[in-house]
Homo-oligomer: A and B are copies of this chain.
Amino acid sequence: MNIFLNASSGIPLYEQIKAQIKFQIIGGLLTENEPMPSMRVLANDLGISLITTKRAYDDLIQEGVLYTVSTKGCFVAKPDLKKIRTTALKSITEKLEDIVCEAKKYGVEVAQMREIFDGILNKI
């Protein structure tokens, strides 16, 4: 399981884990009914506390992204790609709005914002 954590980013570790698991599902790296590494194993692999992986898994189960089979472990649920994408789009749109709003207060012109944004899109 390839997950990369940044302890000093300020973003909670469990949120970083949750996001990367979702990315892998969206990207097809994790497929329906595939077994997830156990919380203990993942905690060990990442060198973090079991509590942290548990928090991430619990959240994902709660969101319906994973499901748990007692004594067997956690598995990837049937991915509701539409829901995940809709949620993601909503979150992204909101964040963009916040930034645009902030930029406006700093006196950044619309044309300049578009320029910056295009620059980023072209770079990736």
Q: Contact residues of A with B, CB < 8 Å? A: 7-8, 10, 12, 19, 22-23, 26-27, 62, 67-70, 72, 84-85, 88-89, 92-93, 95-97, 99-108, 110, 113-114, 116-118, 120-121, 124
Q: How far is the CA of A32 from the CA of B75 in the complex (A)?
A: 39
Bound together, the chains give a CA A110 to CA B122 distance in angstroms of 9
Chain B residues with CB under 8 Å of A23's CB are 105-106
Report B-chain residues with C-beta under 8 Å of the C-beta of A100.
Answer: 120-121, 124
Query: Which residues of B sit under 8 angstroms from A22, Cβ to Cβ?
Result: 106
Cross-interface CB contact of A104 among B95, B102, B124, cutoff 8 Å:
B124
**B residues near A97, Cβ cutoff 8 Å:** 120
Q: Which residue of B lies closest to A23 (CB)?
A: B105
With known contacts A89-B116, A101-B124, A116-B93, A106–B26 Cβ distance under 8 A = yes
Contact of A26 among B89, B93, B95, B107 (CB under 8 A): B107
